[in-house]
Every structure is written in structure tokens, then in C-alpha cells.
Amino acid sequence: MSCEHLICARCSNPVVEGRCATCREARSELHRHGPAVPPALVLAALVALLFVALVVQRVYG
């Protein structure tokens, strides 16, 4: 979603311009980019992959 075509209900200006506090807050909410995957999930996947690699090495090695 983009804020290019949104109009602020408080100041009646385009949100993209950020003229009032409400515009700036709405703009920051729309453009907030957090990590797509939580770091704990990445760590858990790496541990699981290491475990599978060790089991495969023990069985076939």
C-alpha cells in the first residue's frame, strides 16, 4: 500500500507530504519495514539443519 493518494482527515493535505503529526504517523506506519522472518526462527532452522546434517552423516558416513 502506498500513501501517495491518501488524504489526511485532520489537515486535508496529501499524507505523503507529512504536514501534520497525523500525516507523519500514518506515513511512517505505511513505510515501516521490519524483518520478514524473526531471528529466533532463523536460529531454530539452522539448529534443525545442523541436527539433520549430523544424523545423515552418522547414518551414511
- What pLDDT, on a 0 to 100 scale, did the predictor assign at position 1? 57
Examine residue 4 and state whether it is found in any structural domain, yes or no: no
**Cell 524483518 belongs to which residue?**
35
Q: How confident is the model at residue 51 (pLDDT cuts 50, 70, 90)?
A: very high
Domain that residue 22 falls in: 15-60
Examine residue 2 and state whether it is found in any structural domain, yes or no: no
Examine residue 33 and state whether it is found in any structural domain, yes or no: yes
Instruction: Give the chain's domain count.
Output: 1
Examine residue 46 and state whether it is found in any structural domain, yes or no: yes
Interacting residues of 57 by C-beta distance below 8 A, sequence separation 6+? none
Examine residue 42 and state whether it is found in any structural domain, yes or no: yes
Examine residue 1 and state whether it is found in any structural domain, yes or no: no
Examine residue 24 and state whether it is found in any structural domain, yes or no: yes
- Cβ pair 3, 31 in contact under 8 A: yes
Q: Tell me the percentage of the chain whose pLDDT exceeds 90.
A: 48
- What pLDDT, on a 0 to 100 scale, did the predictor assign at position 39? 87
